[in-house]
Amino acid sequence: MSGESMNWETLGFDYIKTDKRFLSTWRDGAWQPGELTEDNVLHISEGSTALHYGQQCFEGLKAYRCKDGSINLFRPDQNAARMQRSCSRLLMPHVPTEMFIEACKEVVRANERFIPPYGTGGALYLRPFVIGVGDNIGVRTAPEFIFSVFCLPVGAYFKGGLKPHNFKISSYDRAAPNGTGAAKVGGNYAASLMPGAEAKKQNFADAIYLDPQTHSKIEEVGSANFFAITANNEFITPQSPSVLPGITRLSLIELAGSRLGLKVIEGDVFVDRLGDFVEAGACGTAAVISPIGGIEYNDQLHVFHSLEDVGPVTVRLYNELTGIQTGDVEAPEGWIVKV
Ligand code: PLP
Ligand code: COI
């Protein structure tokens, strides 16, 4: 498929092979000079730790086409830093921030024809990852690693964009206390596949996980963070060591306080206190801001909004965030990196 023949308005979140991806190998204690390649198939040892022991991590960020034709990356330094933390947790070598951002820029430039035009609501999604590779069988860190970045054009992750969906509280855990919940590692997502599929089979957009220790507090959605708004104009989002520290979440915390004048609370969101909230949403790079219409818990659907209405604070947060990403609203210092 070529960029020219894409139907930008109907893009979802599906794999599309684009022209070039960045690839570098870590060998003998250093990252080798990376290169762009057309081949989207990796040739790795059958003993690779990524295949057996889940030694891998990934990131997700987007490139946006602006009105003036320029291209914005949104807070890539934050993704680089989070990937370094994920690598530390799984005993993998760090990708230096400069190398990470440069690789992202190279991939965007090499696939420019796949960037959805300004105004379509789409973006070029970048997927950097690090995997442990090389001949091995014991449970230990790999002898070699691959760092790669590929990209694809995407639209809404949850169908309809700024349209509410119902979510279901899962009885499964995605991460353990002192485990890897705060790292963006594949194992967390493997653990979420079955609960996520169960929720989707029952027509929910995704599963929401509770804190693994007490199962009384909302942690996050399988693919995004959770936030809620109270009638007193408070923005609340769960704080927990097993929640992924999302960059969208971090950005909304900053925008809610500094631009919308909301009181920001990072704390406990008790699942039996959903009545305290007038709006709720899922936020993330792929999800952007996806309003939550209702949450099913113990066979009861708690409704915040009908599936037609979006709360006013959610709309303001959405406009501020997406306006910054596409260059229409002034960005806080350092948030936008031009490609
Ligand atoms: N939580 C989970 C489990 C995610 O997969 C994501 C998406 O990356 C997020 C939260 C949100 O993180 P970010 O805003 O950095 O994309
Ligand atoms: C993202 O938003 O970047 C994610 O990683 C979420 C999901 C696609 C796994």
CB 204 within 8 A of CB 168: yes
Give the whole-angstrom CA distance, residue 190 versus residue 205: 17
Minimum-distance ligand to the CA of 182? 1
Per-residue pLDDT at 305: 80
Where along the chain do its domains lie? Answer: 3-154, 165-325
What confidence tier does 3 reach under pLDDT thresholds 50, 70, 90? Answer: low
CB 165 within 8 A of CB 203: no
**Is the pLDDT assigned to residue 4 strictly greater than 70?**
no
Which residues, 6 or more positions from 315, have their beta carbon under 8 angstroms from its beta carbon?
Answer: 162
**Is the pLDDT assigned to residue 221 strictly greater than 80?**
yes
| Tokens representing residue 28 in the block | 């003998």
Per-residue pLDDT at 10: 86
From the CA of 13, how far away is ligand 1's center (Å)?
A: 15
CB 169 within 8 A of CB 295: yes
**Average pLDDT for residues 116-132, to the nearest whole number?**
95
Amino acid letter, residue 187: G
Report the predicted TM-score, pTM, of the whole model to 2 decimal places.
0.95
Least confident window among 18-22, 24-28, 278-282, 306-310: 306-310
Which residues, 6 or more positions from 318, have their beta carbon under 8 angstroms from its beta carbon?
Answer: 162, 288, 289
Q: What percent of the chain has pLDDT over 70?
A: 99
Length of the chain: 339
**Average pLDDT for residues 239-252, to the nearest whole number?**
96
Least confident window among 51-65, 132-146, 302-316: 302-316
What confidence tier does 1 reach under pLDDT thresholds 50, 70, 90? Answer: low
Burial-class residue 103 by CB neighbours within 10 Å (0-12, 13-18, 19+).
Answer: buried
Question: How do beta strands 288-297 and 165-169 pair?
Answer: parallel
**Average pLDDT for residues 89-102, to the nearest whole number?**
98
Per-residue pLDDT at 2: 52
Superfamily of domain 165-325: D-amino Acid Aminotransferase, subunit A, domain 2 (3.20.10.10)
Question: What DSSP state is assigned to residue 56?
Answer: E
Per-residue pLDDT at 9: 85
**Average pLDDT for residues 76-103, to the nearest whole number?**
98
| Tokens representing residue 170 in the block | 């899962």
Burial-class residue 317 by CB neighbours within 10 Å (0-12, 13-18, 19+).
Answer: buried
| Tokens representing residue 213 in the block | 């220790």
Question: How do beta strands 30-31 and 35-37 pair?
Answer: unpaired
Q: Nearest Cα to 337, choosing from 72, 59, 108?
A: 72
Question: How do beta strands 61-65 and 56-58 pair?
Answer: unpaired
Atom of ligand 2 nearest to the CA of 284: 2
**Is the pLDDT assigned to residue 196 strictly greater than 80?**
yes
Among 184, 200, 201, 263, the active-site one is: 184
**Is the pLDDT assigned to residue 251 strictly greater than 60?**
yes
Ligand 1: residue of 13, 74, 225 to mutate (most ligand atoms within 8 A of CB) is: 225
Atom of ligand 2 nearest to the CA of 125: 3
Per-residue pLDDT at 132: 98
What confidence tier does 280 reach under pLDDT thresholds 50, 70, 90? Answer: very high
Give the whole-angstrom CA distance, residue 214 versus residue 308: 34
285 lines ligand 2 (CB under 6 A): yes
User: So what CATH class is 3-154?
Assistant: alpha beta
What confidence tier does 5 reach under pLDDT thresholds 50, 70, 90? Answer: confident
CB 188 within 8 A of CB 122: no
What confidence tier does 334 reach under pLDDT thresholds 50, 70, 90? Answer: very high
Atom of ligand 2 nearest to the CA of 286: 2
From the CA of 231, how far away is ligand 2's center (Å)?
A: 30
Burial-class residue 173 by CB neighbours within 10 Å (0-12, 13-18, 19+).
Answer: buried
